[in-house]
Amino acid sequence: MTQKSALVLFSGGQDSTICLAYALRKFDRVETIGFYYGQRHDVEMQCRETVRDAIRREFPEWGNKLAEDHVCDLSVLGDISETSLTRDRPIETEVGGLPSTFVPGRNLMFITLAAAVAWRRGIATLIGGMCETDYSGYPDCRRSTLDAQELTLRRGMDFPFVIDTPLMWLDKAETWDFAQELGGTKLVNLVVEETHTCYKGDRSHRHEWGYGCGTCPACELRAKGYQTWRQQVPA
């Protein structure tokens, strides 16, 4: 077993790309894992490849540490859940305060499967972009949930798993700041150009913060975070 390897839950989005950079700074060998779960668009899956390529090109030192990518087909999630991400339903807040983009159990499954892959590969550290601050309130992104899951995985697989969540207590502006700290302007530009956040899969409208429809909750959050960050950064 190696303490120098990590497995990053990597969607091709802003947060998981910054987590990947964090892992590449901190570990000697980094693998990535992504999940297909019947998303309405495959833009995210395409961005995963593009981001990995861009990291190899722009950060050769990190590129040498970037190892295997695993993709798991979880399309069963699309069969059993009725949400805005997997069905043609409007994105809105539903009774109980959870957005309709919430896929029940999704992150729990992602992490469990990531742990199964990591176990086979002797990797104890799982890294994910889950975040409690200024997020949509998904209960499976809370640190208390992840603490419980970490314990369950340790016991259930008899392996010293650690779920590392570097973005947990950062707001979206601080997340951009973190990217700047990890990889400078080059990483910030990579995140702007290559990562995908928009729920609608829009890659045709370019804003200062990247591509997206500009109006869905994910775009609004990304735009607001970027603008707040830019206002704080001295010109």
The answer to whether 193 and 208 have CB atoms below 8 angstroms apart is no
Q: Which residue number, 154 or 203, has a Cβ lying nearer to Zn ion? A: 203
Q: Compute how many other C-beta atoms are within 10 angstroms of the C-beta atom of residue 235.
A: 3
Which span sits near Zn ion by CB under 5 A: 45-53, 76-84, 172-180, 216-224?
Answer: 216-224
Smallest separation, CB 201 to Zn ion (Å): 8
Cα distance between the two ends of the chain: 46
Site string for Zn ion, 167-196 (x = CB under 5 A): ------------------------------
Determine, following the binding rule CB under 5 A, whether residue 141 of this chain makes contact with Zn ion. no
Determine, following the binding rule CB under 5 A, whether residue 223 of this chain makes contact with Zn ion. no
Determine, following the binding rule CB under 5 A, whether residue 213 of this chain makes contact with Zn ion. yes
From the list 70, 143, 76, the residue with the least C-alpha distance to 104 is 76
Determine, following the binding rule CB under 5 A, whether residue 219 of this chain makes contact with Zn ion. yes
Determine, following the binding rule CB under 5 A, whether residue 51 of this chain makes contact with Zn ion. no
Phi, psi of 164 (to 5 degrees): -95, 120
Amino acid of residue 109: M
Classify the C-alpha dihedral 170-176-177-178 as positive or negative.
positive
Q: Which residue number, 5 or 197, has a Cβ lying nearer to Zn ion? A: 197
Smallest separation, CB 218 to Zn ion (Å): 5
Which span sits near Zn ion by CB under 5 A: 30-38, 55-63, 183-191, 198-206?
Answer: 198-206
Determine, following the binding rule CB under 5 A, whether residue 47 of this chain makes contact with Zn ion. no
Which span sits near Zn ion by CB under 5 A: 95-103, 112-120, 134-142, 217-225?
Answer: 217-225
Q: Nearest residue to Zn ion, using CB?
A: 198
Single residue of 216, 223, 225, 226 touching Zn ion by CB under 5 A: 216
Determine, following the binding rule CB under 5 A, whether residue 201 of this chain makes contact with Zn ion. no
Residues that bind Zn ion (CB under 5 A): 198, 200, 212-213, 216, 219
